Chains A and B, each alone.
Chain A
């Protein structure tokens, strides 16, 4: 990792939510300094790279994700946004050839420490997927699944109701909790998946293009829902839809892919990470500007 290969410029890479408190942009990237970890920070990525076999999907990402905010990842296809998102709850473990270098600090603890159990990670950091993936079980059983695997005994009716209410789905399904979740519409299924994730009371919710399979009305509902719950949860969302990122997120990270000339593979890099309104109105990097104004990607 020679300095000249770094395409990011230092100030953009380490931009923080409260610029006044974190202006230490020139400190060396590879040296964590626990004393200046922002108390509102949930995640700190340090020099994170992900490989699939020998293929490097994304490299040298440094960023800090803050509590109770919506952080959006945008960028063209194949720039490793989803790959990166799946590092936050170790879903990449499910891919045999995936390998992670660097650190994902969650409240200062490296999630990739050998002592960390991914099962515990995922109970705190939930996930909503691109395609709605309810279990082929009843609506009730879908929501109750998480609490059950977490060892909650007894009647889960209250948890089910609370989760469905928070996901703004209760009124639509309260009379058919025993029906199969597969009978719901796509948008309802996705809200069910969000309710399912909320049922285990996670701190963080990762959303991987949650609206890409939905129509605009369903998308609007999911966005309203995100707005609603962000006071309680930290949300990270990957989206292909720039308007969506602009509408819902507080902070926005723009990724792009650099083509490796020798192997003809594409590796994702973080270009810029800042407050969303700045990203869309006055980005620091020309590549960001080109992308958000539609001149590229």
Chain B
């Protein structure tokens, strides 16, 4: 009798405190995951900081005339922004003209038309396509797209040209757009399709009037990711657009041209090396900042747009 009363401690807060070892372990695990999350933010912040600092050096020392001249020739201290921004825009527009119809079309087919077995084969193939090294596509753009497509479209096209680079980037972007778009359409509830078919709608009506509007946020996301990928693509442009040193300002897509990314690549690797005179080194960061701000704005606008048109289901 007396024994049992000793063993049973009175019920108190201590009884509900739990195992201290386990509590410590829980805290440690939480710490590890927090560190992982925090590290990515720290790295991001450091990147932005470095970009901003060098960009500031560049902007504060460069003369305005250098930023608005005949072309992008860092060796001669001519940093015409128009040349590389327009080059990037042209390449991206051409790329999306290729990637949007192809990618969205493939997505509609895979999601709405393909039988499960066909989809089971095509979707992995598409994802493998997405992992083709861009240097391979760059070479393909230069040796096949340029002579076989672009030079047939225009007699005066040079072998190196922005159009070939754009088409190459477009092919590179297509699987990415298709894959994200297909995911978006695949996540539209089956009940909505059934509702549509139950009303006597055909497949094409169901796809266009029900599935695509319901998936629009995902489709816009697919497009934006595609654009970001196209703007950021370097290797295809560096190989096929052919302006390794510099480039004159030009709106002609059949001409040689320079994009922001290719300009950075050639700055960092070319013979006019980063150690070059004056502000060459800093100009690299300047272009990087430009690219960063552009893609950021793109994402912000896309987000706004998606929020406005999204259909909640």
In Å, the complex CA distance between A123 and B313 comes to 25
Q: Which size class do A's interface residues fall under?
A: 20 to 34
Choose one: A91, A96, A133, A180; the contact of B192 (CB below 8 Å): A133
Choose one: B205, B311, B312; the contact of A149 (CB below 8 Å): B205
* With A96-B115, A96-B116: A126-B198 Cβ-Cβ less than 8 Å: yes
Q: How far is the CB of A146 from chain B (nearest CB, A)?
A: 4
Contacting pair A149 B214 (CB below 8 A): no
Contacting pair A123 B200 (CB below 8 A): yes
Contacting pair A91 B313 (CB below 8 A): no
Q: How far is the CB of A123 from chain B (nearest CB, A)?
A: 3
In Å, the complex CA distance between A122 and B205 comes to 14
Contacting pair A149 B191 (CB below 8 A): no
Let me know if A158 is at the binding interface, CB within 8 A. Answer: no
Tally of B interface residues using CB under 8 Å: 23
In Å, the complex CA distance between A123 and B192 comes to 17
Q: Collect the chain A residues with CB atoms within 8 Å of residue B312's CB.
A: 136, 180, 182
Instruction: Give 1 or 0 for each of A117-160: 1 = CB within 8 Å of chain B CB.
Output: 00111110011010101111100000001101110000000000
Contacting pair B198 A136 (CB below 8 A): no
* With A129-B194, A136-B313: A146-B209 Cβ-Cβ less than 8 Å: no
* With A136-B311, A136-B312, A136-B313: A119-B192 Cβ-Cβ less than 8 Å: no
Choose one: B115, B191, B213; the contact of A131 (CB below 8 Å): B191
Q: Closest residue to A97 on the B side, CB-wise?
A: B116
Q: Collect the chain B residues with CB atoms within 8 Å of residue A96's CB.
A: 115-116
Segment 72-120 of A: residues with Cβ below 8 Å from B = 89, 91, 94, 96, 119-120
Segment 210-265 of A: residues with Cβ below 8 Å from B = none
Contacting pair A129 B191 (CB below 8 A): yes
Contacting pair A137 B198 (CB below 8 A): no
Q: Is the interface of B mostly helix, strand, loop or mixed?
A: helix
Let me know if B156 is at the binding interface, CB within 8 A. Answer: no
Let me know if B46 is at the binding interface, CB within 8 A. Answer: no
* With A91-B197, A129-B191: A119-B202 Cβ-Cβ less than 8 Å: yes
Instruction: Give 1 or 0 for each of B182-217: 1 = CB within 8 Å of chain A CB.
Output: 000000010111111111111001000110011000
* With A96-B116, A133-B191: A200-B200 Cβ-Cβ less than 8 Å: yes
Q: Closest residue to A142 on the B side, CB-wise?
A: B195
Q: How far is the CB of B206 from chain A (nearest CB, A)?
A: 9
* With A122-B199, A126-B198, A197-B199: A133-B210 Cβ-Cβ less than 8 Å: no
Q: Collect the chain B residues with CB atoms within 8 Å of residue A94's CB.
A: 193-194, 197
In Å, the complex CA distance between A108 and B194 comes to 26
* With A96-B115, A96-B116, A137-B213: A145-B311 Cβ-Cβ less than 8 Å: no
Contacting pair B198 A89 (CB below 8 A): yes
Let me know if A65 is at the binding interface, CB within 8 A. Answer: no
In Å, the complex CA distance between A146 and B197 comes to 10
Contacting pair B198 A197 (CB below 8 A): yes
Contacting pair A126 B199 (CB below 8 A): yes
Contacting pair A149 B202 (CB below 8 A): yes
Segment 28-83 of B: residues with Cβ below 8 Å from A = none
In Å, the complex CA distance between A91 and B200 comes to 10
Let me know if A193 is at the binding interface, CB within 8 A. Answer: yes
In Å, the complex CA distance between A148 and B214 comes to 18
Q: Collect the chain A residues with CB atoms within 8 Å of residue B200's CB.
A: 119-123, 146, 149-150, 200
Let me know if A196 is at the binding interface, CB within 8 A. Answer: yes
Q: Collect the chain B residues with CB atoms within 8 Å of residue A122's CB.
A: 197-200
Q: How far is the CB of B116 from chain A (nearest CB, A)?
A: 6
8 additional contacts, CB 8 Å, given A91-B194, A121-B200, A182-B313?
A91-B198, A119-B200, A120-B200, A122-B198, A129-B195, A135-B196, A146-B200, A149-B205
**B interface residue numbers (CB < 8 A to A):** 115-116, 189, 191-202, 205, 209-210, 213-214, 311-313
The 10 residue pairs across chains A and B that have the minimum distance between CB atoms: A123-B200, A136-B311, A133-B191, A127-B198, A122-B200, A136-B313, A146-B199, A149-B201, A133-B195, A149-B205
9 contacts between A and B (CB under 8 A): A119-B201, A120-B200, A123-B199, A133-B192, A136-B313, A137-B311, A145-B201, A149-B196, A196-B199
